[in-house]
Structure 1
Amino acid sequence: MPTIPVNNANTQSIPVVSGTIAAISAESVITEVESLFALPDAAIQLSALLSDPDTTNIQIVDIISIDPALSARVLKLVNSAYFGLNESVGTISRAVAVLGRSPLHSLVLATSAGLAFENMSSELVDMEKFWKRSVYAALAAGSLASRGGPRLRERVFLSALLHQVGQLVMYHHLPEISTQVLAAVARGEDRASSEYALLGFTHADLGATLLEHWKLPVALTEPVRYQERSNEAPDHAREAALVHLASLIAQHMELNLANSPTASAFDVDPELWAQANCNPEILDSVIEEVDLNWFQVISLIAPNAMLIY
């Protein structure tokens, strides 16, 4: 039987069982739902520009300025408490200069992704908890990658923020299968194993395929696809390992925040730390950084998720 390896502390193979659905793929699912979960055109154009080293600031300002909603979001971002500027920024050109291209790219895509799923409706998911966990993962990934330079930090921040969007697609488009997967998880079974056994692909494949349809670069989509099997990632294995590790930290924090989570309660395969090129000794400082910043970040990316706080 075909198998897919899972990169976690209990590495295993995922069997394809007889119940696997025929004639369905991650690509076919995303083709059916991409109009429902679409990035604004200006955000896609801006992403392409910001990925091109020859792009000028004037071109970036022009793209942002033609979209009033995007302009408003950029100004809100740059003037937020997260950046802590001493003076107000009132123009897009100044915002671009102050934020810098890499942070601008990350924050515009992050807020645009939040909008793409703003009207997501499913009885199977709590969107407030979903975005909180996603922001935990994004900040953890950025903190873990901070020693690798700002470009790596911004890339893995985005990949980690979006690493579970495939779950949202699955909840919306495949609710019956999602119910079976959630039941399996409740029994203590591995989520990716259950998804692959039922569908022949996982939510990571769905998420990566959606990001590819959004025309995001491979440096962002590959870590999402290979988040649980980073050793198979063709070009961005470290980023995939960072995303997986950040996801585990987010789960750990979500379950243990009331008890002040620390490294002593976090048991992860040493090989994953090695693949991420990180030392477990930094975990406490990572958790502290996430705990310090998540509230500000989620208020920018998914403000509706703040209604419960």
Structure 2
Amino acid sequence: MDFEDYPDEARIRAEFIVDERFRLNDRKRPLVEALYQASLRFTAERLVNDPDFWGRYGRERQTALDFRPTGEPVHLSLKNLRLPVLPQAGIELQQVMDNPNFTADDLAAVISKDPKLTTTMLRMVNSALYNLRQTVTTVSRSVALLGSQQVWNLALGTLMLNLFKQPANMRFDIQGYWRHCVACGILAKALATRARMPDPERFFVAGMLHDIGQLALLTASPEVMEVVQTTMFTADTTTPEVERRILTFDHMQLGARMSTMWSLPEFIHEAISMHHRPGDTELGSAARAVHLAENMAKVLTFGTGEGFVLDPLHEESWRSMGIGIQDLDAMLAEATEKILGMTELLASMH
């Protein structure tokens, strides 16, 4: 459906929202303009299908306009923050993959000991994300079909995101973060697949875990996280810069600390610690793919809260993928179907 075909009210509101979200970007650049036009369509669609969307956006925006920060940094120590501990299943997953003689049965046994992880894994494996022609009913079968590395990646990512819960007595939308993380994972994998990069499943997990620093801050200090999110709605700069103004550190640094503490693979560590600085990484890096995926997720309206803003797009990351701008709409449409299926699945489990 073309943007012009939407009702006048939806188009006017979509233009207002999308202009706000692209305020850090120059529309004279071809990639930015292509994403801007796509964002208009997806936002108009959201406005038509979600009657409460415009009201939520307006309320959050007014809260941000009324907010008066002190201007003083919050005294939180990066070193002393209480962070989630990797559960036993995660430790055992690491031990299995560190053993050069491990078998597929070893991996399946570790996952199967955790009922919640097993249920989540099987539902994800049977989702549109993989489009398997048969229903998988055991972890062993999923390992046989997808391979040990893919199943390990998926299990670890699922286990880690399960550590974070909705804070009590807070308007913070943890479900929105879940949707954003899943959308980033699916889009990062889609980019890697189209660019013919090796092992695109790694990119799914890198995208899914890229914002664990924000989720960790939410767990450690939900009040501070709410200040960051409210400030970001009307900020003239990126999320990490807003965080550094308030906290003196950002979610990439916090995420990197968690990644080191949990001994995550270097590929995922880079995505977590560098996704807002893709120009400082090498071609083909996880950070470059996740940078693009994160902003594409926002184009599809899968951001965090309603006041998210796109980062200044690093077009060299896009060019290095070798994907044409003419392929963008098809990729976004294909990814959207998978994202909606996965977010419905996750919503039913949380």
For 1:67 and 1:180, the matched residues in 2 are separated by 36
- Which of 129, 152, 159 aligns to 1:105? It is 152
- Which of 312, 319, 325 aligns to 1:280? It is 325
Residues 74-153 of structure 1 mapped to structure 2, 5 A cutoff: 74-80=121-127, 82-121=129-168, 123-146=170-193, 147-151=195-199, 153=200
For 2:267 and 2:132, the matched residues in 1 are separated by 30
Measure how far apart 1:128 and its partner are: 1.9
Shifted more, 65-74 versus 283-292: the winner is 65-74
Gapped runs of 5+ residues in structure 2? 1-23, 27-70, 304-310
The one-letter code matched in structure 2 to 1:107 is L
Q: Which residue of 2 aligns with 1:167?
A: 214
Instruction: Give yes or no for the alignment of 1:33 onto 2:83.
Output: yes
Contact 1:138 1:246 in 2 (8 A): yes
**Aligned CA distance change for structure 1 residues 132 and 92 (closer, same or farther; 3 Å):** closer
Measure how far apart 1:124 and its partner are: 4.8
The one-letter code matched in structure 2 to 1:178 is M
Q: Which residue of 1 aligns with 2:271?
A: 223
Instruction: Give yes or no for the alignment of 1:200 onto 2:252.
Output: no
Shifted more, 266-275 versus 180-189: the winner is 266-275
The C-alpha deviation readout for 1:38-85, integer Å capped at 9, x for no partner, is 443223322453466653213223323433443444444444454444
Radius of gyration: which is bigger? 2
Measure how far apart 1:86 and its partner are: 4.2
The one-letter code matched in structure 1 to 2:341 is Q
3-state SS of paired residue (1:158): helix
The one-letter code matched in structure 1 to 2:152 is H
**Count of residue correspondences:** 275
Gapped runs of 5+ residues in structure 1? 1-7, 11-17, 257-265
The C-alpha deviation readout for 1:73-126, integer Å capped at 9, x for no partner, is 444444445444444444433221022223312321232123211454462521
Measure how far apart 1:224 and its partner are: 1.1
Instruction: Give yes or no for the alignment of 1:213 onto 2:261.
Output: yes
**Aligned CA distance change for structure 1 residues 62 and 134 (closer, same or farther; 3 Å):** closer
TM-score by length of 1: 0.75
CA RMSD of aligned residues (A): 3.3
3-state SS of paired residue (1:24): coil
3-state SS of paired residue (1:254): coil
The C-alpha deviation readout for 1:135-188, integer Å capped at 9, x for no partner, is 22111111111133352x222211211222222222332344334423432223
TM-score by length of 2: 0.67
